[in-house]
Amino acid sequence: DSGVTQTPKHLITATGQRVTLRCSPRSGDLSVYWYQQSLDQGLQFLIQYYNGEERAKGNILERFSAQQFPDLHSELNLSSLELGDSALYFCASSGGTGSTGELFFGEGSRLTVL
Amino acid sequence: GENVEQHPSTLSVQEGDSAVIKCTYSDSASNYFPWYKQELGKRPQLIIDIRSNVGEKKDQRIAVTLNKTAKHFSLHITETQPEDSAVYFCAASKGGSYIPTFGRGTSLIVHP
């Protein structure tokens, strides 16, 4: 158990819809990262938050947005969903005391867009 | 930005053989190189990492080597076992951000 909690584990929705994925980081970690993993693809970095503020952006579509709340949990919002958005979305955290750079991943949220 | 290339995409070995996965990176400022293992249906987990001030690091049956001049690094697994079967990702990051850019992954299959 990494200590990172993601919900929901599975989500099936239709094109054009909007979903919200939730992540609770490890206790003490200040950074939250979101990654997208499509079939046969690597881990595509979407966005990072540090202590409530956006720190870095990767290949995140304009239809996607995220935020980190004062209690450090984070939400990834995906809107106007397309078939190609079907993927496994991972949240990871780091940045706690003594951080070495290791990312601790959650179990992922599998999104299926029909 | 950083670009990480990883080869091979699939590697099939017999139990007991060695396996080598190679990665190259583009940004000479990168200084942290982790390797993650992702078992089927599971989350990626760090198995070993190396920093740019070190040329080689070992942990039991796994080792990582880094050539900063050539900008490539490799994962070596000796005496492979079926439980080593997984997808392995290399990554590179720099500075204090530790945001890794991942390679596309290598699917390692160890046949009993």
Chain segment B16-35, per-residue pLDDT in tens: 999 999 999 999 999 999 99
Burial of A110 (0-12, 13-18, 19+ CB in 10 A): middle
Q: Per residue in B86-105, is it b (16+ CB within 10 Å) or e — as a string?
A: bbbbbbbbbeeebbbbbbbb
| SS3 at position B30 | coil
How far lies A87's CA from each of A8, B79, B95, in Å? 13, 34, 30
A98 lies within 8 A of chain B by CB: no
CB contacts of A43 in chain B (<8 Å) are 44, 89, 102
Determine whether the interchain pair B99/A102 forms a contact, defined as Cβ–Cβ distance below 8 Å.
no
Lowest mean pLDDT among A69-73, B40-44, B95-99: B95-99
Chain segment B31-67, per-residue pLDDT in tens: 999 999 999 989 999 999 998 888 899 999 999 999 9
Q: CA of B104: which chain A residue's CA is closest?
A: A42
Determine whether the interchain pair A102/B89 forms a contact, defined as Cβ–Cβ distance below 8 Å.
no
Determine whether the interchain pair B32/A41 forms a contact, defined as Cβ–Cβ distance below 8 Å.
no
Q: What is the pLDDT of residue B109?
A: 97
A1 lies within 8 A of chain B by CB: no
Query: Using CA atoms, how far apart are residues A87 and A46, in angstroms rounded to an integer?
Result: 13
Q: CA of A104: which chain B residue's CA is closest?
A: B45
